[in-house]
Amino acid sequence: MKSARLLGHRQRARLGVNVAMIIISLLLVLPLWYVLNNAFKVEQEILRQPLVLLPSTATLANVVRAFTAMNYPLRFMNSVVILVLSCVLLVSLGTLAAFGIAMARSRFLDRVYTLLVAMITLPFQLAMVPLIFMLKGFGLMNTYWGTALVYSGWFLPFVIFIYTGFMRTIPRELEEAGRVDGCGLFRSLLSIYIPLLKSVTGTVLILRGVPIWNDLLVSLITLSRSTMSTLPLKLYSFIGTYGSAGTRWTLVFGGTVIVSAPILLVFLFLQRYFVRGAVAGAVKG
Amino acid sequence: MERRGLTEAQRRQIVCFLFTLPALAVVFVFFLFPMLRSLVLSFTNWDGIGHDFQWVGLKNFATVVTDSSFRQVVVNTLYLIVIYVPVLNVIALLLAVAVYNSGRAGNIYKSMLFFPNLLSMTVIALIWKIIYNNGGILNQFLKAVGLKILARDWLGLPQTVLPAMSFTIIWFAVGYYLLIYLAGLNTVPVELYESAEVEGVTRTQKLFRITIPLIAPSVTINIVLSTIGIITLFDLPFVLTRGGPGYLSETLALHVYFYAFVQLQTTYALALAVLLGMFAILITSIQLRLLRRREEASR
């Protein structure tokens, strides 16, 4: 009898928690709903009825206007190119370096590794000013490569940290067996290690790819030419042009939605990996 | 294949070092070297354009620290650390415990709460700018429920701008910290809770006697991560308020940007960046030391 009562009590507690969580979750996504539904309304409708979307008055005009005003395809391409270049650099250079550090067992590289880990928490603002001066000197301002290299320099310490941590959990015997079979280091990296790195690479891409895709600061200071601007940067300058007047919020609503759309689509398909990947990085630290 | 003077092990180490070289070069050129340069040039009168400079000692630091805006900017940054970090962590922990106890639906709540994290902070700031706006939905709502007295220009008033900004940042970040707490909770053996329940331990006691001591490592990670996060946060406050009204919501991180790229006072930007860096290192190492000690004590 006692255990039955205990279960009843627990179920009641669980019901209470669920009710509370449903309310909290809905309140939390309410601001997003507010923007989403207003993106498809005409201005008078937004003021009259901000939280309900009536299909009869729904319009694509805001989204279409924002799309053309932003020159969306160009911004999208800029964002994609910078993201891909950065991720290729982070993953390839990060894997190579982590492999070297994990295999060497040398005191020097262990010290380098400690230094890299310490650098993870240093504020980007500390490097910002001389970095821009240097980019100008190298002719890398307003270039995809320049921006991608800035992201790489900033995030490689973290990426190397994640990869090295993972490689150190792979049994050494694997590589040693490869060596007996005449595998050089590079061969064993390619044929033994890289196939094992799929999930950790997913983590790296989520933990650093998403911030790069969403970032404003680096694009703001490295991409001053308007044809180079990324989606967040264009959205930001967009507000300056339309938002401050207070009358063109419809355009801002539309712009916000189309800027967010790509990552939301990716999230819908890869939801599980996102949630898992987000934790993996922090828990290792 | 034999190379003179090098053993097999030594050759291996050289190859390993070569593997690390491209990454180290990128990190050095695009991150470490500029940082060291900031440190050196903050003691000079470099104009940010040419290559010439003279040493001026601590003059830039003195100017930055005695500037009328400095006090306000430091107060704002400290406010965010002292208010935002604890509030965020308490909310994230409580929500994590709730998600943990909510059974199957937990995954849905988790995804919903994590959702804002995916959006660009530019987007987030814009959304909340519209919400907090004078004629915005928040004020409309307050008027509609008869709390007209509370309706105000949330981002335009000295008393409300920082709380409003903190609220937005918490709204944005809570899902991420919740995930880390949840990962910690999942490592606590369920038997502990079951036996505690049999012995009639209350819910609050469970939280403080079992949960928090056992997830101490997650608490450490989250406090340090959220502190660094808030010290260096740029995008969200920049788009939300640009530090205004006046300097009332400007943080150190924003102030460096404004010095460097708006007022074009390069050396002040460098000096302030160095102070910001030292501050970040100092506060996180103090936190780490204290929290690690607590972790050991509670073990």
Distance from CA of B240 to the nearest CA of A (A): 10
CATH number assigned to the domain comprising residue B164: 1.10.3720.10
Distance from CA of B220 to the nearest CA of A (A): 10
- Judged by CB atoms closer than 8 Å, whether chains meet at B24 and A112 is answered as yes
Rounded to whole angstroms, the Cα distance separating A130 from B270 reads 9
Same domain membership, residue B120 and residue B7: no
Name chain B contacts of A86, Cβ cutoff 8 Å.
none
Give pLDDT tens digits along chain A (285 positions).
444 555 577 778 888 889 999 999 999 988 888 888 888 888 777 766 667 776 667 888 888 988 988 899 999 999 999 999 999 999 999 999 999 999 888 899 999 999 999 999 899 999 999 999 999 999 999 999 999 999 999 999 999 999 999 998 888 887 888 777 777 888 888 888 888 898 889 889 988 999 999 999 999 999 999 899 999 999 998 776 665 545 477 888 888 999 999 998 988 888 777 777 777 666 554
Rounded to whole angstroms, the Cα distance separating B11 from A35 reads 60
Same domain membership, residue B138 and residue B247: yes
Same domain membership, residue B262 and residue B123: yes
Which among A132, A210, A285 is the nearest to B118, CB-wise?
A210
- Judged by CB atoms closer than 8 Å, whether chains meet at A18 and B239 is answered as no
Q: What is the dihedral of CA A132, A138, A144, A148, to 10 degrees?
A: -60
Residue reference for tokens 């400690």? A114
DSSP A57: G
Same domain membership, residue B212 and residue B74: yes
Cis amide prior to B245 (ω within 30 degrees): yes
Interface of B with A in 67-96 (CB under 8 A): 95
Average pLDDT over every residue of B186-193: 85
- Any alpha helices (H) in chain A, and if so which ranges? 2-38, 43-48, 61-70, 72-104, 107-119, 125-138, 144-167, 172-180, 185-188, 198-204, 210-214, 217-222, 231-238, 249-284
Which among B38, B171, B280 is the nearest to A121, CB-wise?
B280
- Judged by CB atoms closer than 8 Å, whether chains meet at B12 and A185 is answered as yes
Same domain membership, residue B241 and residue B160: yes
pLDDT at residue B130, as a whole number: 85
Same domain membership, residue B219 and residue B95: yes
| pLDDT one-digit tens code per residue, B12-65 | 888 899 999 999 999 999 999 999 999 999 999 998 888 888 899 899 999 999
> Domain A64-284: which topology?
MetI-like fold (1.10.3720)
Cβ burial, residue B129 (10 Å; 0-12/13-18/19+): buried
Of all residues in chain A, the one with the smallest CA distance to B283 is A121
Mutate to test the interface with B, among A14, A79, A126 (most CBs of B within 10 A): A126
How many distinct structural domains can be found in chain B?
2
What ipTM did this prediction achieve? 0.90
- Write out the two tokens for A284: 């290792």
Same domain membership, residue B108 and residue B1: no
- Judged by CB atoms closer than 8 Å, whether chains meet at B112 and A97 is answered as no
- Judged by CB atoms closer than 8 Å, whether chains meet at A153 and B30 is answered as yes
Rounded to whole angstroms, the Cα distance separating B189 from B108 reads 23
Same domain membership, residue B139 and residue B28: no
Same domain membership, residue B37 and residue B92: no
Q: Which residues pair with B55 in a beta bridge?
A: B44
Per-residue HEC secondary structure of A213-244 comes to HHCCHHHHHHCCCHHHCCHHHHHHHHHHHHHC
Distance from CA of A218 to the nearest CA of B (A): 10
Residue B135 has phi, psi (to 5 degrees) of: -95, 20
Rounded to whole angstroms, the Cα distance separating B247 from A35 reads 29
Same domain membership, residue B265 and residue B126: yes
Rounded to whole angstroms, the Cα distance separating B58 from B60 reads 6
Q: Is the residue at B50 inside a domain?
A: no
Interface of A with B in 102-121 (CB under 8 A): 103-104, 106, 108-109, 112, 116, 119, 121
Rounded to whole angstroms, the Cα distance separating B102 from B109 reads 9
Q: Is the residue at B217 inside a domain?
A: yes
Chain B contact for A175 (CB, 8 A cutoff): no
Q: CB within 8 A of A63, min separation 6: which ones?
A: A39, A40, A254, A257, A258
pLDDT at residue A270, as a whole number: 81
Same domain membership, residue B65 and residue B16: no
Residue B128 and residue B168 in contact, taking contact as beta carbons nearer than 8 Å? yes
Of all residues in chain A, the one with the smallest CA distance to B203 is A13
Rounded to whole angstroms, the Cα distance separating B114 from A272 reads 12
Distance from CA of A177 to the nearest CA of B (A): 16
- Judged by CB atoms closer than 8 Å, whether chains meet at B180 and A275 is answered as no
Chain B contact for A3 (CB, 8 A cutoff): no
Same domain membership, residue B83 and residue B155: yes
Interface of B with A in 258-277 (CB under 8 A): 260-261, 266, 269-270, 273-274, 276-277
Residue B123 and residue A232 in contact, taking contact as beta carbons nearer than 8 Å? yes
Chain B contact for A251 (CB, 8 A cutoff): no
Q: Which residues pair with B44 in a beta bridge?
A: B55
- Judged by CB atoms closer than 8 Å, whether chains meet at B114 and A13 is answered as no
| pLDDT one-digit tens code per residue, B123-170 | 999 889 888 988 788 888 888 888 888 888 899 899 999 999 999 999
Domain ranges of chain A: 2-60, 64-284
Which among B16, B111, B117 is the nearest to A104, CB-wise?
B16
Domain that holds residue B23: 1-41
